[in-house]
Structure formats: structure tokens, C-alpha cells
Amino acid sequence: MKIGVPKEIKNHEYRVGLTPESAREFIARGHNVLVETQAGVGIGASDEDYVAIGAKIAPTAEDVFANSTMIIKVKEPLADERKRLTPDHILYTYLHLAPDPEQTKDLLASGATCIAYETVTDRHGGLPLLKPMSQVAGRLAIQCGASALEKNEGGRGVLLGGVPGVHPGNVLVIGGGVVGFNAAQMAVGMHAEVTILDRNTDVLDRLDAHFEGRAKIIYSTKATLEQALSEADLVVGAVLVPGAAAPKLVTREMLSLMKPGAVMVDVAIDQGGCFETSHATTHDNPTYIVDDIVHYCVANMPGAVARTSTYALNNATLIHGLRIADKGWKAALQADPHLAAGLNVWNGKITCAPVAESLSMEILSVPLADALT
């Protein structure tokens, strides 16, 4: 199969779809890899590094799309990239379609086969291709939130870990999944006071066993959420409904409960955000203030640590990418229902139920398994 790796063009997105090491794996199986020039520079991988393992270098993104069957990216294709997609393309990347009707409409019109990392599942019910970036984003949420708390950034001027004789900062993590767990780990490590809210009692048990009293593990209700918001210096929104838009758990009215200069980091912004007052920002201009509360809502947080993020992502995506290339996408999806769960758009139809429901759009009218035969 002809594999294409374009350079990411989203604001301050430095990751790349394939590392040289991953590209080498495709080439070793007889596939051709075409990489846009400078695509890997953000992770310290030069064109020469790709050439050394047998990849070819293309001068433009147009060349990559025109001469490839499977396009491997990191972030969702922007409008200029979507114009280059055809029915002959397999797009393998993060899509986050639920809050993005324009992208969805363009992908439907392209006729391309679009497999989204974030809805591929595993036998444990997890999201293995989303997990590594959730780990990165959760840890970054505390790092970025701590910076936004600085007075010169508009925050309260609170040091999360405090110093002897002064109270540490108070961190609220809403959601105890992969993002929330990693955020809490970092906050506890910085010696902040940490509260985690979740509604899954199994998750609460697991968190309680792990943190052993170093974090407060609380069942989430409106009352406990409001109480925790009133005490927090930093709030991390870490709520996910696979494939669907994130629920708006913190309303604008609730901001009045919070301390002026407190910071909210919405890690769910890729799926529309879990704060009512959230809107996507960029690394160029990451924060804004609503009702005296600092909002950090960067939609591609892991892009800031591109090398770590790219290698972590490739560790998860490579095996499925190789199966698609080796078997062809239909056979690969027929053989693996967990990979099939990643198919979001095919033949001009939405194939992922949460996406269709979130966008109030029609889903493929026949079962996917039947359609693929």
C-alpha cells in the first residue's frame, strides 16, 4: 500500500503521523511511504532520517495526497486538506467529529474512508489509541494550569505546591478516567490539595486504592461539584463520552461560586468541552477570561510536547495501521471489531452512532458488518 504522511498544519501542531521508526515498519512489510518535506522536524526527525530508512520525500502536501492510498496524520484534516481527499483514500487520524459539523460534511462529500483513532476500542472496553494522548493531556493540564495561575498570566498568583507555612493550591479534577487520573497524579506529585469527582463507583474504588488518602475521592453530584468549585484554584475538566460531544458539567452560573483568578483547563475541548463557557483556543493565545475565571482550552495540548506525544501515539497506532496496510481496510475491519469501531465515515455515510446522534445526522442504514461483506 502507498502510505502518505503530510506535515501537520494546525496552529502549533508539531507532531507527525509516523516516526522514522514506524515508517520503517511499513517499508519492511513491502509498503511505500511518502513523507512531506519537513513533516518530522517538530519531533527532531529530518528528511534525511526518513530517507535513511527507505521513505520518499514529497515537496508538497498535494503530492502526498495525490500519490498515496492511506493518509496517516495526527490531527483532524483542516479545510485545505479535506479538499484533497477522494473516494480512493483511507484517512487514519484523530477526527473528533461530534462537535465539528463542517469537517463531517466535507468528509462525507469526499467519499473517503475515515478511521478515527479516538473511537477504536479494545477488549476491555478502553480506547487504546486515545489513551496515550489522554495521558499526555492529563499531565500537561496541571503543568499548563499551574502556569496560568501565575499573576502575570491573569491567575490568582497561587503556587500549587505552596511552601512551608502557606496553604498549597487546591486542584479539582472532574472525571477519574485516563485524563483525570494522570492530572491527579501530577497534582499530587506537586503537593497540591487534590479532589477527584466521578460517578462510577468502580472508578472511585480504584482511585482510592491508588492514592491512599493523598487525594479526596468524591462521588459527583451537583452539590459536591458546586462545593468543590468554590474551593478550587485549578479545575481540570476530564470528562469523555466516546465519540460524542462532551456534557456541559460546569455552567456559566457556577463560575460565580469560584474564586476570582481561578483557572479552568478543559481537556475535553476536542469533543466540544465540558464547561459551558469553553471555546477552543490555540497555543498562540491559549487563555481567555470569563467572569474573572481564566479558561485554558487548547484543542491540541499534546502538540506542545511533540516528541513525547508522537512516540507515545505511534506506539498505539502502529499495529492497527500495519493491519490496514497489510490486509486492506475492509479485511482488517472485518477481522477486528475493535478496529471497526474506529470507522466514522465511509462511502459518504456516517458509521459511528455517537457522531450521528451528536450531529443529528443519518447513520449508515445497514449494519456495518453487512456493509463490509
The length of the chain is 373
Q: How many CA atoms lie within 13 A of 131 on its CB side?
A: 12
Choice among 89, 96, 295, 320 that is catalytic: 96
Choice among 31, 100, 270, 320 that is catalytic: 270
Q: Would residue 31 show up in a list of annotated catalytic residues for this protein? A: no
Q: Would residue 89 show up in a list of annotated catalytic residues for this protein? A: no
Q: How many CA atoms lie within 13 A of 271 on its CB side?
A: 22
Q: Which residues are catalytic?
A: 96, 270
